[in-house]
């Protein structure tokens, strides 16, 4: 398997300086004072720099392991805007291949997912195996004898690693290991992914939809924003409350914690002994005593039964709904949301069904919460290009200075109602935007 040392094989080509000009972000993001210049959500050049300096070197979510059962299983997705194929090779390893024929650049796979022996480009017929090696091409004898097919395999992500069923890939071969990059967030993620000794599975395929909005609006909200819940989701909470009058005061005023990290990840969750799964069959299924033992009491009363989280840059999750999603950037003004339902493998079928339907009802494309969120992001984005608006700072000052280590919660946390993880998100964003990436050497 020829894993390219340099995932950008330009063969013998060279480029002039200055084609990809990077901008010093300077004071456009000032997380220490909770201020953001809203131009970072709409500027085309900044967006292109994000592709080079954030997406080309961060761990990006690819798929769930459950999507690959046999060699030849593949799934097509994106890393940033680059189309990639994740395939299981004959050794049952997952390869992540740039979906770009080395001949003239057509995609070599157009199916969303499936099982295959190899990928044949429909333009001239170059054929690649599950590891991305060029194994056949029509008219090979018409090339010079010095033509070596092994030089013309698909570009392959040099790093592919999993954390508790979630597969991530990175174009930077020297990136720190995925688990180190997740850091203290693993404790919060485990409350979602490690309830069941058998692990998790995905059901119902991948739901995809398009929203008008910059990718950061969605990612930062899932990292930091419990604040919007009572206002933006008031009608949804009303529908879901037994009285129909909206959330009880005790629920609306819940206290909890928000996790923030130097790596840009974030998570927030109310902490309450009566936190529970909203779908009744799911609530009844869990043995909370067993879970307090398997995880910890703090995980069970906090991030297991409620809240939100984001793995920097663009992978988000909702433990109580079983939702995982990627915010695929499609230019500065648009995202394509890809969402999966993740369930514990040991759940009986009726419990799985209840949780899947609950997830779709709340956070599917027409879910009662999801629609509120999408509406907010497109509202924020709609005027982002206007001149006076671009000269007006955004406020991320809630809970400023309250970040500290709180006993029982790994890493740095603030109170639930806070912009702490938003400030952490933009601190990391700024650091990466201002630092040359591996491919600039
Ligand atoms: S572009 Fe793929 S074979 Fe020509
Ligand atoms: Fe929301």
Atom 4 in ligand 1: which residue has the minimum CA distance? 124
Tell me whether residue 64 is one of the annotated catalytic residues: no
CATH assignment at residue 77 = 2.102.10.10
Rounded distance between C-alpha atoms, residue 205 and residue 368, angstroms = 20
Which CATH number fits the domain that encloses residue 389?
3.90.380.10
225 and 130 together in one domain: no
Task: Please list, in sequence order, all residues whose beta carbon lies within 8 angstroms of the beta carbon of residue 325, skipping any fewer than 6 positions away.
Answer: 315, 316, 317, 337, 338, 339, 340
Residue 5: pLDDT above 60?
A: no
Q: How many CB atoms lie within 10 A of CB 393?
A: 13
Q: Mean pLDDT score of the chain, rounded to an integer?
A: 94
- CB of 304 within 6 A of ligand 1: the answer is no
pLDDT in tens, 401-423: 999 999 999 999 999 999 999 99
Asked if the structure places residue 51 within a domain, the reply is: no
pLDDT bracket for residue 159 (50, 70, 90): very high
CA distance 71 to 361: 34
- Domain assignment present for 211: yes
Catalytic choice (37, 131, 190, 233)? 233
Question: Do 272 and 321 reside in the same domain of the chain?
Answer: yes
Task: Give the pLDDT of residue 414.
Answer: 97
Indicate which residue's Cα is closest to atom 3 of ligand 1: 124
pLDDT digits (tens, 9 = 90+) for 290-330: 999 999 999 999 999 999 999 999 999 999 999 999 999 99
Q: What is the Å distance from ligand 1's center to 301 Cα?
A: 55
Q: Is residue 45 part of a domain?
A: no
- Specify the residue for token string 């929203």: 211
pLDDT tens by residue, 160-217: 999 999 999 999 999 999 999 999 999 999 999 999 999 999 999 999 999 999 999 9
Half-sphere exposure of 138 (CA within 13 A, CB side): 6
Ligand 1 pocket, 155 CB below 6 A? no
Which among 139, 174, 209 is the end of a domain? 174
Residues 289 and 424 in one domain: yes
309 is a domain residue: yes
Asked whether residue 32 is assigned to any structural domain, the reply reads: no
- pLDDT in the model for residue 251: 61
- Residue 108 Cα: closest atom of ligand 1: 2
Domain count, the chain: 2
Q: Which of 224, 226, 248, 244 is nearest to 235 (CA)?
A: 244
Domain that residue 74 falls in = 60-174
Q: Is 328 a catalytic residue?
A: no
Of 335, 350, 380, nearest in space to 279 by CA: 350
**What are φ and ψ of residue 340, in 5° steps?**
-120, 160
Last residue of a domain, one of 115, 142, 174: 174
226 and 329 assigned to the same domain? yes
Query: If you measure from the C-alpha of residue 101 to the centroid of ligand 1, how many angstroms do you get, rounded to a whole number?
Result: 6
Asked if the structure places residue 36 within a domain, the reply is no
Residue 35 falls inside a structural domain: no
């Amino acid at each position: 398997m020829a894993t390219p040392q340099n995932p950008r094989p330009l063969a013998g080509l060279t480029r002039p300086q200055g084609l990809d000009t990077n901008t010093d972000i300077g004071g456009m993001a000032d997380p220490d004072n909770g201020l953001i210049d809203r131009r970072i959500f709409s500027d085309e050049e900044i967006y292109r720099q994000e592709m080079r300096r954030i997406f080309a070197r961060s761990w990006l979510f690819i798929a769930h392991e459950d999507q690959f059962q046999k060699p030849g299983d593949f799934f097509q997705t994106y890393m940033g805007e680059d189309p990639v194929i994740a395939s299981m090779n004959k050794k049952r390893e997952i390869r992540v291949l740039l979906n770009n024929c080395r001949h003239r650049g057509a995609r070599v796979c157009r199916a969303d997912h499936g099982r295959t022996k190899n990928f044949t480009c429909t333009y001239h017929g170059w054929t690649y195996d599950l590891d991305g090696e060029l194994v056949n091409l029509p008219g090979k004898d018409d090339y010079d004898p010095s033509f070596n097919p092994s030089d013309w395999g698909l570009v392959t992500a040099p790093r592919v690693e999993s954390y508790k069923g979630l597969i991530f890939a990175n174009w930077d071969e020297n990136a720190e290991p995925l688990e180190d990059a997740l850091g203290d967030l693993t404790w919060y993620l485990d409350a979602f992914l490690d309830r069941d000794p058998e692990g998790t599975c995905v059901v119902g395929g991948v739901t995809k939809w398009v929203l008008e909005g910059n990718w950061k609006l969605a990612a930062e909200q899932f990292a930091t924003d419990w604040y919007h819940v009572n206002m933006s989701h008031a009608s949804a909470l009303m529908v879901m409350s037994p009285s129909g009058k909206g959330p009880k005061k005790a629920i609306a005023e819940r206290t909890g914690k928000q996790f923030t990290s130097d790596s840009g990840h974030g998570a927030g969750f109310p902490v309450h002994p009566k936190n529970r799964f909203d779908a009744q069959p799911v609530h009844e299924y869990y043995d909370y005593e067993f879970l307090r033992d398997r995880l910890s009491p703090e995980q069970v009363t906090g991030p297991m039964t409620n809240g939100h989280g984001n793995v920097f840059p663009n992978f988000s999750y909702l433990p109580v709904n079983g939702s995982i999603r990627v915010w695929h950037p499609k230019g500065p003004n648009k995202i394509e949301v890809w969402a999966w339902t993740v369930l514990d493998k040991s759940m009986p079928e009726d419990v799985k069904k209840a949780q899947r339907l609950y997830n779709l009802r709340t956070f599917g494309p027409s879910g009662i919460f999801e629609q509120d969120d999408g509406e907010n992001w497109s509202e924020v984005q709609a005027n982002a290009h206007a001149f006076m608006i671009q000269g007006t700072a955004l406020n991320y000052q809630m809970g400023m200075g309250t970040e500290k280590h709180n006993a029982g919660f790994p890493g740095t946390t603030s109170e639930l109602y806070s912009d702490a993880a938003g400030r952490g998100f933009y601190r990391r964003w700024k650091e990466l935007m201002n630092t040359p990436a591996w491919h600039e050497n």
